Amino acid sequence: MNESSETTRHRVVLKGISSRAWEHPADRGALVALRKLQGFDTILRKFSAFMNERAIKMQLLGSAVRVSDRQFPRLQRLHAEAATTLDAPELPELYVIASPVFNAMTIGIDTPKIVVNSALVDLLDDEELRFVLGHELGHALSGHALYRTLLQYILMFGMTLTSVPFGGIGLIALRSALSEWSRKSELSSDRAGLLATQDVQAAIRVNMKLASGGHLEDLDQTEFLAQARDYQDTDDLRDSIAKLLLVDGTTHPMNVVRASEIRRWVDSGAYADILGGNYPRRAGDKDAKISAEASAAAEAYSKDFNESDDALAKLAKDVGGGISDLGKWVSGKVRGE
């Protein structure tokens, strides 16, 4: 998008919006539960500040470029606009680091910092960069760095379980759960990115560019999303098992899947509701109920399962239905029916 058309574009400023508005139910449920643990965040912040925060700061100051009105002013403008749209209380420091890898990240706990690789600056237009910056702001506003660090410490301490018979099984389960939450937190931040740019096509284009190495002119969005459906709804059980093995231990969903999830969230009506002003406010965060969020997470997983055409999901539903029918038959025989 060129500068003249950008100046005429209107984005809804989401006053007082809570991160709960964009968090995936599985992500939100975990975050609400963790936020209820009084005191741990203060201890973790102090520990992290002592051990890591200064090292991160000095590393970035010494090896990267701090974005400002005089350095990467285009990025500074987009960063400020994204923060304004999401009504962020503070604007995290933004850095550009030289790297050919398409990536951006939010690091630090006490004072989160956003780092964008130079390859992304070269690859993306303004709306696409605003999506990426909104995605990283989503991580910062949700406090993902804090809670990821907590869970990583739990995982690290859990390594002692490997010396206990069968203890490794619990560690594997914990790692799988942590990875699943991390993937859902990325979907949450994709939604934050979409809310920041308020351009659905730009949000999907980012994932198309990342998947293709930037060859957008050779891609078709309809075909790209159809590819996502082929991945998600495979009717071969071997493919379903392969997918489980592929994502085990990964922290990010695949780009094709992320594009599909953005489209799905928009089609659900939740995105339009938020733009219409129907969203939770930060003022109500302290009153969020763990039970309600856990129910929402369970409902989301159940909905995904019931609507899935994946071979493994179909098999589970068929087996479950057969067990249910067998239970009804046995129950009827016991009652003499």
Name the band, by pLDDT with cuts 50, 70 and 90, for residue 310: low
DSSP string, 208-247: HHHHHTS-GGG--HHHHHHHHHHHHT---HHHHHHHHHHH
Please state the rounded mean pLDDT for residues 241-264: 86
- The average pLDDT across 245-256 equals 82
Tell me the two tokens of residue 191: 């939604």
- Taking the chain, what is the end-to-end CA distance rounded to the nearest angstrom? 70
Of residues 288 and 80, more confidence is placed in 80
pTM here? 0.78
Query: What's the mean pLDDT in 132-150?
Result: 85
Interior CA angle at 249 toward 151 and 120, to 5°? 90
234: left (phi over 0), alpha (psi -120 to 50) or beta: beta
* pLDDT over 50 (residue 332): yes
Tokens of 268: 């659900």
Instruction: Kindly tell me if the per-residue pLDDT of 55 is higher than 70.
Output: yes
Q: What is the pLDDT of residue 128?
A: 97
Query: What's the pLDDT score for residue 127?
Result: 97
The 10s digit of each residue's pLDDT in 80-123 is: 999 999 999 999 999 999 999 999 999 877 788 999 999 999 99
Locate the domains of the chain by residue range. Answer: 12-310
* Beta-strand pair 65-66/93-97: antiparallel
How far, in Å, CA of 83 to CA of 90, rounded?
A: 8
Strand partners, 155: none
Amino acid letter, 168 = G
pLDDT band for position 209 (cuts 50, 70, 90): very high
Task: Single out the residue of 184, 101, 197 nearest to residue 139, CA to CA.
Answer: 184
What DSSP string runs through 303-336? HHHHH---HHHHHHHHHHHHHHHHHHHHHHHHTT
Of the given ranges (177-181, 213-217, 248-252, 287-291), which has the lowest mean pLDDT?
287-291
Which of 304, 312, 305 lies closest to 237 in space, CA to CA? 312
Q: What is the pLDDT of residue 158?
A: 56
Reference 109, options 78, 132, 142, 68; nearest CA is 142
**8 A C-beta contact, residue 133 and residue 117:** no
Q: What percent of the chain has pLDDT over 90?
A: 47
Please give the pLDDT value at position 323. 43
> pLDDT tier at 181 (50, 70, 90 boundaries)?
confident
Most confident of 41-45, 77-81, 287-291: 77-81
Q: Strand 113-117 to strand 93-97: parallel, antiparallel, or no bridges (unpaired)? A: parallel
Q: Residue 173: what pLDDT?
A: 63
